[in-house]
Each structure stands twice: as structure tokens, then as C-alpha cells.
Chains A and B, each alone.
Chain A
Amino acid sequence: MVLFFFEKLKREKNITLLFLILLVVFLGIDHMKERNNFNINLEEQNHNEHQEGDSPCGM
């Protein structure tokens, strides 16, 4: 079984798929962890404040 998975991971797209699955797991853990202290409203991230080093735009 382990050998089977090891063989599969020698292929590029399988590695990418594993990466994407791990990314989703990471997002899930992060979501659960931050659920209590985040505000779901995206507008909370104040885009109006556009000072140096204080914006998502390319920073």
C-alpha cells in the first residue's frame, strides 16, 4: 500500500493534486481556528485605508 502511494507520487500531476488537497486541509484548519475571531464581512478589511504598506494591492 505504502509502495503504491510512493509510486504514484513520482508523477507530477499526482504531486500537484496532493498539494491542492493539503491546501484545502490547511484552509479548513485555518477556517476552524479563526472562526471565533474573524468577522465574515470582507468589507471589514478597510480598502479605503490606502497608506504605504497598508493595502492588498500588490503588497
Chain B
Amino acid sequence: MSHFKKIFLQSKIDFPMLFIGTSILLFILVFLLINYSLKHFLLLIIGGAFGFVLFHSSFGFTGSWRNFINERKGNGIRSQLLAIGLAMLLIIPFIGNESLFGSTIVGAFGPVGVSVIIGSFLFGLGMQLGGGCGSGTLYNAGAGNTRMLITLIFFILGSLLGTLHLPWWLSLPSFGAVSLSSYMNTIPTLIFQGALLSIIAMVTIYYEKRGEEEISTIYSKTNSSFFKVLIFGNWPLLWGAIAIAFLSITMLFIAGHTWSVTFAFGLWGAKIASQIGIDVSQWEYWKGNYQAQALQGSILNDSVSLTNIGLLFGAFIASNLSGKSNSKINISLLPFFAAILGGVLMGYGARLAFGCSIGALFSGIASGSIHGWLWLVFAFSGSYYGIKLRPYFKL
């Protein structure tokens, strides 16, 4: 018996679910290739890879921030810092250049102002109640977590509400978008941001050491073979960080913009609202150039939606490869309300803050935007209070 065959026979793959999920994904891929373009096809594949990587490496902001605040374990945060650091090495230098499909590459820039401060705080609070950030909600929902599906649905509702109120929030004091590289050029920006990321990593190590426990690592060798871990999961965080950085750079060169998640939630909400007779096209937010075009076109024509859809399916496939059990739904009332509240807060907050942990934090910092750093400070503060609120919801 070959090595690979033995590994497959020993695995706990849920074959029926894996077959259905893969078949639907392949159907959408073929549909995109026939009706749309190679670019759409590739964006769905990248989204699928994101879902696969996120699930297999359990790469998320919510849990790792909570681990650090509650238990002083910083390996999750350090893996995120590494991913951001790697991504920025290729994102910042290429902003303004041409993407593979001819569009100009743009970074993720948002205003440094009150809307981002309030929005990121609400997002941080909401992600601890909802149980996941933007990408975390998507991949956990795709992997078969019903509570996260509830969070996702209310995330979409919150995003829609955010698009209604954003113009008012933007009327509050703001310095506008501030790009570090426009002040200090590319190399100094990379050095400066690299230093800041390193300082945060060292702070997490300092707090861990104070607890007199062993420093948690982002890589540990397992007894399982490389192939087995790669396909069936339980990746070291290091693999996740490198893969996320690689995929976000690939997305930049294909889509022409950085990785983003929550724009699509607002769009999906607006589409559903339009179906039930609410004319969102008259809302100021949806009159913007990009937003109006996205609203008029098909969801399959929106690059952010494509990666999100791929991410859902990628996580679904990964969870069935890992043998995640098809457990009975067991959500009590308070965690159910926490999912609703967390979803709405995250959706609304992400709109105000010009993105979530991906669009604002990951892509913002990797683009050299000051609003990404502002987002980090206030979302972390919000998370702190969100963690304090969790016991009231029996979480």
C-alpha cells in the first residue's frame, strides 16, 4: 500500500460533503470562466485558498487577541504581525504600478479620523461577542459553525446600516487618508513599519515571559508527515502566516487592490434590500463611483465578493478534509443574542472604520496607511471590553 493511500484510508474525510462542496465550487469556477473572465476565475480560486489556509491554520484575530488578553499567549498575534510584515514587503513598493490584468494597483487607505476610531472600537467589541472577525466569521461559517452563520447574517445587516450612516460619520473631524510612503518614501516606510511590528512582537514576548511560562511558538514540529498536515490540517501558525501573505500579494496583482472582506457584505445587504423594495441606490454611499457600479452589476462581477464566496467554499472543503464532525446544533439563547449583537457591531463598525481586521488592519498596514495602525489600537481596546462582556452572554 502506498504511503499516500495509507494516509487517505486513515483519514476521517467526510466524503459526501466533500464531494458536494467541491462540485459546487467547480461549477461556479466553470461558470465564471465561460460567462466572465480568467480574472474572475482566479479570484474565486484565491478565495478558496484563503478559506483552506485560514481553516487549516486556525488563523484568526479574535481568538489570538483573546488568548493574549486572557492568558498572555502571544503566538497568534506574532503570526499576524509576520503575515502583515511579509505582505507589506511587496504591497507598498507596487502601489501605483500596473496589475497583471492592466488596472492600477491601489492600497487600502482610509481616513485618520473619528469614524475609524469609533468604528474599529465597535468592531473589536463585536468580534469578541460574535466569535470571529471578518475573515474568521466567513471561514468558521463555511466550516460548519452555525453560530457563525448567524453572526455572518447580522454582519451583513450591520454593514448595510453602516452604508446608510457613513456619510454622517465622515462629516466628523478627520485628517483624511495618510500614507506613510508619501511622507518618507518606500524603503524608510518598510523599515519604520517593520520596526513597529517587531516592537509589538517583543511586547507580546515580554508579557508572556512575565507569566513565567514557556514562550508560545508559531512553529512546532509534529510527528505527522508534511503531506498529511498539508491536506488534513492542524498547520503550524507559521505556515498560515506565510500562505496568507503570499495569497494577499497574489490577490493584489490579480485584482489590482489589496485583500478586503467587508465591502462585499454591504453589497450583499444592499442587493437583498433592493430585492425587497428598498432603493439603496439613492443612499449617498451607493452613489459613489465604485459602489454604484458594484450595485448595478452582478455580485459575481465584484472581486471582493468572489474571494469571499471562494473563502466560504474553501473552508467547507478544508473542514470536510479534516474530518470535522457533523455535530448537532446546540446554541443557547444568550450566545445566540451575542452572535446577533456581535454581527451587527462588526458590520456597522467595519463600514465606519473603512474595513475589518483584513481590509483595515492587515491590508491597511501592509499598504502603509496610518488608519491601519489607528484601527489596531482602537479595535484592540474594543476587544478588551468585548472579552469582559463575554461571560454575560455565557461565552
Kindly state the separation between the CA atoms of A29 and B40 in the bound complex, as whole angstroms: 18
Interface code A29-43, partner B: CB below 8 Å = 1, 0 otherwise? 011011101111111
Question: Which of under 10, 10 to 19, 20 to 34, or 35 or more describes the interface residues of B?
Answer: 35 or more
Chain A residues with Cβ under 8 A from B300's Cβ?
A: 27, 30-31
Chain A residues with Cβ under 8 A from B14's Cβ?
A: 13
**Structural contact, A10 and B263, CB atoms closer than 8 A:** no
13 contacts between A and B (CB under 8 A): A13-B17, A16-B316, A17-B20, A20-B142, A20-B312, A27-B300, A43-B102, A46-B289, A48-B104, A52-B177, A56-B294, A57-B260, A58-B108
**CB-based nearest A residue for B362:** A58
**CB-based nearest B residue for A21:** B24
Segment at the interface with A among B191-199, B235-243, B321-329: B321-329
Among B141, B261, B301, B313, max chain A CB count under 10 A is at B301
**Structural contact, A15 and B24, CB atoms closer than 8 A:** no
**Structural contact, B328 and A56, CB atoms closer than 8 A:** no
**Structural contact, B289 and A38, CB atoms closer than 8 A:** no
**Structural contact, B256 and A47, CB atoms closer than 8 A:** yes
Whether B363 sits at the interface, judged by CB under 8 Å, is: yes
Among B37, B145, B258, B289, contact of A54 (Cβ-Cβ < 8 Å): B289
**CB-based nearest A residue for B25:** A20
Kindly state the separation between the CA atoms of A8 and B243 in the bound complex, as whole angstroms: 35
Whether A2 sits at the interface, judged by CB under 8 Å, is: no
A20 touching B316 in the complex, CB below 8 Å, given contacts A11-B327, A13-B324, A56-B263: yes
Counting residue pairs across A and B whose Cβ atoms lie within 8 Å, the total is: 184
Chain B residues with Cβ under 8 A from A26's Cβ?
A: 299
> Interface size of A by Cβ–Cβ distance < 8 Å?
43
Please provide the 4 A-B residue pairs with the shortest distance between their CB atoms, ordered closest to farther.
A58-B359, A58-B355, A57-B108, A38-B297
**Structural contact, A46 and B24, CB atoms closer than 8 A:** no
Closest CB in chain A relative to B144 CB, distance in Å = 4
**CB-based nearest B residue for A54:** B288
A14 touching B326 in the complex, CB below 8 Å, given contacts A30-B271, A40-B37, A58-B360: yes
Known: A30-B299, A35-B298, A56-B303. 14 other contacts (CB 8 A): A13-B14, A17-B17, A30-B271, A31-B299, A42-B303, A45-B290, A45-B302, A49-B290, A53-B167, A53-B285, A53-B291, A57-B109, A57-B363, A59-B359
Closest CB in chain A relative to B17 CB, distance in Å = 6
Whether B86 sits at the interface, judged by CB under 8 Å, is: no
Kindly state the separation between the CA atoms of A5 and B316 in the bound complex, as whole angstroms: 21
Interface code B301-317, partner A: CB below 8 Å = 1, 0 otherwise? 11110000100110010
Interfacial residues of chain B within 122-178, with CB under 8 A of chain A in the complex: 141-146, 149, 166-167, 170, 176-177
A24 touching B299 in the complex, CB below 8 Å, given contacts A14-B326, A57-B355, A58-B356: no
Kindly state the separation between the CA atoms of A46 and B293 in the bound complex, as whole angstroms: 9
**Structural contact, A12 and B285, CB atoms closer than 8 A:** no
Whether B343 sits at the interface, judged by CB under 8 Å, is: no
Kindly state the separation between the CA atoms of A27 and B28 in the bound complex, as whole angstroms: 10
Kindly state the separation between the CA atoms of A59 and B141 in the bound complex, as whole angstroms: 21
Kindly state the separation between the CA atoms of A54 and B294 in the bound complex, as whole angstroms: 11
Whether B233 sits at the interface, judged by CB under 8 Å, is: no
Among A10, A13, A45, contact of B294 (Cβ-Cβ < 8 Å): A45
Chain B residues with Cβ under 8 A from A16's Cβ?
A: 141-146, 149, 316
**CB-based nearest B residue for A19:** B149
Chain B residues with Cβ under 8 A from A53's Cβ?
A: 166-167, 170, 285, 288, 291, 354
Kindly state the separation between the CA atoms of A58 and B271 in the bound complex, as whole angstroms: 18
**Structural contact, B301 and A40, CB atoms closer than 8 A:** yes
Closest CB in chain B relative to A40 CB, distance in Å = 6
